[in-house]
Amino acid sequence: MLIFNILYSMLFNKCSRCHQGDVFESKNPYDLTKMFKMHKTCSHCHLQYEDEPSFFYGAMYVSYAISSGWFMIWYALENFVLNWDLLPFAIFVMLFIVVVSPLTLRWSRLIWLNFFYKFKKEYKDQTHHHA
């Protein structure tokens, strides 16, 4: 069940603790003016997203893992299906990584939040807004 909670939070930009409030200000990861802008706290359960200064530095490791995953998927496709020359493949993968970087950034931060704040049904069901 934990993986489904993480995936829900990650795919729908929701607070890891209550799955109600949005984490990022814009629902569109490709809104370049708000790509990095996050709410300070959850609008539902009032979880403070950046618990300490530089809290999201650790998300860089998650981002690296996601980017490595993208590369491994494309590398496997290249070897078993596509059979492109090296240069077109390298250019394609670099462009792909750049295009999905806004998603990778969001997903890495949302996964990082999920490492520290697990989903708790009582926060989702609460009617009084207190932490």
User: What's the rounded mean pLDDT across residues 77-91?
Assistant: 94
Q: Using one digit for the tens of pLDDT, what is the confidence trace for 58-72? A: 999 999 999 999 999
Which residues have C-beta within 8 Å of that of residue 41, sequence separation ≥ 6?
Answer: 21, 47, 48, 49
Domain limits, the chain: 2-125
Mean of all residue pLDDT scores within the chain: 93
